[in-house]
Chains A and B, each alone.
Chain A
Amino acid sequence: MRAFNAELSKLFSLPGIWLAFLIGACAPAIIAALDSMAEKDDILAGVSTRLSEVGLIGLGAGVQGIIILGVLAVSSEYLTESSESGGGNQITTSLTAVSSRLQFLLAKAGAVAVISILLFVVAIVTTMSATKLILGEYAPVFEASKLVGVGCYWTFTALLAFGMTVLTKNGIIPLAVLIINSSVVTISYLLTKVTKLAFYLPDRAGMDMFMSDGYHTPITGGFIMFAWVTVLFIVAAIVFHRRDVAS
């Protein structure tokens, strides 16, 4: 519990994390607002087929903030500086403050998961306000099951970003891969056009937790993404346990 408190304290005192909070809390509302405006005419005419997805898409996009959270939580430990400015390398302090590496990793993953859930709650509020503002009485009411789906998607994505960064020790690769995949080109989506196996990739399967007409049922999709998170965490924990901090 102490280690967990320390990790929360670390995250909240890191300025870069506020960027993650800003994106996580605001991006879903902005995207939902734009989407609502685009669909407004169809919705008012009662011909929109996407009414239930307005807002959910925005919430899906908010994962970018969560990706930054998961990556920064780890990469900030390994940030190194020139020797004149002290070398950074907070990881040495972290690992002399908590003797068990597994405990350290669990505490950090726990802090990331808790913050992503809190951020998700904030995002629901901002997104619902945005759709209400634009669509008024036509604003969709989110189904609880879908909200749980998106919440899991956020948390699992944060933990995937976390696990990847433990392996790379550097935030650039996981940030580039995950942000590009969740915004510019959805590589996993393109892959689904080539092979059905791509539906078992974590982000594809995870999206089935809240998108309608998915390849998997929401429960199966959730299990598949959770399996990815678990496997990645175990691999990251083994590598982290064996690794020399100096290397």
Chain B
Amino acid sequence: MLPYNESHNRKGVLWLLTINNLVKQRGNHEILSGISFKARPGRVTGFLGPNGAGKSSTLRILLGLDRATSGSALIDGKPFAELQNPLSTVGAALDGFGAHRMRTGRAHLRWIARAAGLPRSRVEEVLEIVGLTDAAGKRVGTYSLGMGRRLGMAAALLGDPEILILDEPVNGLDPEGIRWIRTFLRERAASGKTVLLSSHLMGELAETVDDVVIINRGKVVANGTLEEVIGSHSTLEEAFFALTTEHAGAVV
């Protein structure tokens, strides 16, 4: 059993992510075959799986970027397209910078702030939070992978959202950046917000996540708290390999 009462967080609002029996077909290929899980407020949920397992597809459907063949992916009980203020509800940093290379980092964040009706001062705040203030005047095309990830995080944080969805957030970050993101995500969860992050890296995640969902070839192979998923294995990494290679497809 989960220690958290999933129905409501402290404000009495349901900031829950609910993925229910999600199926996605592209051509003849089934990318997702009935994915179901939840990400709860006040917890960091790690969505793990090898490359090509369907993690990004699931997150893209959740964010309304791709369409599900069947099933549902709901944010606070609604599909993404029905959210009134998307940026203050859910902040997302997907694979890639999501920015045009010829614009400066600051100009990129400014147009997003306009779309959400946020003041320019908020742009400077998030630049400060992610440590990108000094590079904000440079064109995105000159950014390193790590700087681009920070820019993506800054964009996700603009609306100070209740929910964060991050696709491979530690990819391309240096050890300092990884440490920063771990601390940051723990703080977000501690303040009652919902954090869902995907990764194919186990070591970086074991210290950050509360709940774990492991998917392999479009199917959930494990779902529970970190302790439950590790079970009799020595580490999360051990559990992951046991679940995704030897007994691929078996549900825990």
Interface on A for B, CB 8 Å cutoff? 2-3, 5-7, 9-10, 13-16, 76-77, 79, 81, 83-90, 92-101, 242, 244-247
Contact = CB atoms under 8 A, between A and B. Distances in A.
Interface of B is mostly: mixed
Given A97-B87, A99-B64, A89 B111 contact: no
A9 B96 contact: no
Given A79-B101, A86-B148, A92 B116 contact: no
Given A14-B103, A16-B102, A92-B65, A98 B86 contact: yes
Interface stretch (B3-11, B77-85, B209-217): B77-85
Contacts, number: 114
Contacts of A83: 96
A88 B65 contact: no
B128 to A, nearest CB: 20
Contacts of A7: 111
Contact of A246 (B57, B102, B110, B111): B57
Contacts of A95: 63-65
Contact of B95 (A87, A97, A101): A87
6 contacts: A85-B148, A96-B86, A96-B87, A97-B86, A99-B82, A246-B65
A93 B98 contact: yes
Given A87-B95, A93-B112, A97-B112, 8 more contacts: A13-B103, A86-B96, A88-B100, A93-B98, A93-B108, A97-B116, A244-B67, A246-B57
Nearest to B149: A86
B97 interface: yes
Interface centre among B56, B84, B99 (most CB of A within 10 A): B99
B86 A99 contact: yes
Nearest to B115: A6
A157 B123 CA distance: 35
Nearest to B112: A97
Interface of B: 26, 56-57, 60, 63-67, 80-84, 86-87, 90, 92, 94-104, 107-108, 110-112, 114-117, 140-141, 143, 145, 148, 155
B101 A85 contact: yes
A77 B96 CA distance: 13
Interface of A is mostly: helix
A2 B102 contact: no
Contact of A100 (B81, B111, B155): B81
Contacts of B97: 86-89
A88 B101 contact: yes
Contact of B143 (A3, A86, A101, A242): A86
A86 B84 CA distance: 29
Contacts of B84: 99
Contacts of A246: 56-57, 60, 65-66
Task: In the A-B complex, list the 3 residue pairs whose CB atoms are closest, starting with the nearest.
Answer: A87-B96, A86-B97, A6-B115
B110 A14 contact: no
A13 B65 contact: no
Nearest to A80: B96
A55 to B, nearest CB: 34
B91 to A, nearest CB: 8
B112 A245 contact: no
Given A84-B145, A95-B65, A242-B67, A89 B86 contact: no
A90 B98 contact: yes
Contacts of B81: 99-101
Contacts of B116: 2, 97
